[in-house]
Structure 1
Amino acid sequence: MTCQFSIKTFDELTSVDLYHILKARSQVFVVEQNCAYQDMDEVDFDCLHLVAHKDEALVGYCRIIAPESSTSAANTLPMPRIGRVLVLPKYRGEGLARQIMTHAIKHCRKKYGKKPIAISAQTYLLNFYESLGFVRASEFYLTDGLEHVDMVLPIIKKSKAKNLKLGGSEGSGFATKLLSFLLLILSLMFIAGLIYLMT
């Protein structure tokens, strides 16, 4: 699905923007999930609001919380958080949630530098967030009656990133050394066999 993405501070949102954001959040997190809780909170004032539009209609959303405003139970380091991730039901199954998260992650990296990124994920979405590189950082816990888990997207070190680009893994260094050692042994055995045959 092709969408347009916008990121605005709370003060940059128009009243129409805010209406559609709060309507979508209420539709997904309160009505659809049958969870009576106070969605609107003071955090919204300090967030960046990422909206996915299709033909000018809101189809998906998330908010980005700055590291200074964010605390994580899993880590005491200040890190940005992504929250309230949603895709309206009509637009699900087309990869839009992945696009939203990818945009949010890129924006966090650009705005806040190389810091881990935290989320509080509903546990039924654990595999989705793991596919984006997030790792579990807590035990499961209940928030407003729904099971959640803290997750963190760590920073990949350059050496690991090089291995990943080359199709290797952390164990590939060991495998290379083992193969080199075996080739050396075979070469020595071959030379020893030649010497034996010549004498």
Structure 2
Amino acid sequence: MDSELSIKSFDELTGVDLYHILKARSQVFVVEQNCAYQDMDEVDFDCLHLIAHKDEALIGYCRIIPPEFNTLSTNLSVITSSSHAALNTMPAIGRVLVLPQYRSSGLARQIMTDAIRYCRKKYGKKPIIISAQTYLLPFYESLGFIPEGERYLEDGIEHIKMVLRVPQKVKVKKESSGIVANVLTFLLLILGLLFIAGLIYLMT
């Protein structure tokens, strides 16, 4: 859909930005999901806030938690890494929302794709972790996230931890050159045998 996305640190948010972010988060995570919990937390100060606008109105949102402030962690069964320290220093994406009237428009995918791209650009080759509501498992799997561990309740709603692996470069074996060499060797052998057969024929 036609929307404009921007990323701001907490200090870059205007009072109006912050009002609409907190209003949307309260609307979706507290009122709509009938979940009485403390949405505003100290983490917001250290996050990057990705806002989707349409005609200057907030229609979608997520926050990116930098690796140094992220408390979620993964294990070696899900990602490939030689450094155990890297397993607990990865960015996280959370508070992903799209206002009801803009759902089923591809906006959630656009928000997540932009958030992932930004994490890759800013934090390099690190896994990205999320705490996903389980009914959204197929959506996050379609983006490449892999479920990890058992399902758990968070504020009365079932969640599961999911990790997006670091893209691995696939090494393609150069077998074609070996095949060519084998064919040439075989042809040389045939020519050699034909040459010897020709000599024997001439000598008889």
Query: Does TM, scored on the shorter chain, surpass 0.5?
Result: yes
* 2:117 maps to 1:106: yes
Structure 1 residues 152-167: aligned runs within 5 Å: 152-159=163-170
Moved runs in structure 1, 4+ residues, more than 2 A?
A: 73-77
1:151 alignment partner in structure 2: 162
Q: Is the 8 A contact 1:119 1:152 kept in 2?
A: yes
2:13 alignment partner in structure 1: 13
Deviation at 1:73, TM superposition (A): 4.0
Identity of aligned residues (%): 73
After superposition, give the CA deviation of every residue in 1:98-126 in whole Å (9 maximum; x if it has no partner).
Answer: 00000000000000001000000000000
Structure having the higher Rg: 2
After superposition, give the CA deviation of every residue in 1:16-72 in whole Å (9 maximum; x if it has no partner).
Answer: 000000000000000000000000000000000000001100000000000011122
2:144 alignment partner in structure 1: 133
1:72 alignment partner in structure 2: 72
Name whichever of 70-79 and 88-97 sits farther off. Answer: 70-79
After superposition, give the CA deviation of every residue in 1:109-168 in whole Å (9 maximum; x if it has no partner).
Answer: 0000010000000000000000000001121000000000000000121107x8xxxxxx
Question: What is the total number of aligned residue pairs between the two structures?
Answer: 164
CA separation in 1, counterparts of 2:161 and 2:74? Answer: 7
CA separation in 1, counterparts of 2:130 and 2:170? Answer: 26
1:27 alignment partner in structure 2: 27
Structure 1 unaligned segments of length 5 or more: list them: 163-172, 181-199
CA separation in 2, counterparts of 1:117 and 1:148? Answer: 16
1:183 alignment partner in structure 2: none
CA separation in 1, counterparts of 2:137 and 2:52? Answer: 22
* 2:49 maps to 1:38: no
What letter is aligned with 1:53?
A: H
What letter is aligned with 1:37?
A: Y
Q: Is the 8 A contact 1:62 1:82 kept in 2?
A: yes
Structure 2 unaligned segments of length 5 or more: list them: 76-86, 180-204
> Matched residue of 1:138: which SS?
strand
> Matched residue of 1:38: which SS?
coil
1:120 alignment partner in structure 2: 131
CA separation in 1, counterparts of 2:70 and 2:156? Answer: 22
Q: Is the 8 A contact 1:74 1:138 kept in 2?
A: no
Give the root-mean-square deviation of aligned CA atoms: 1.6
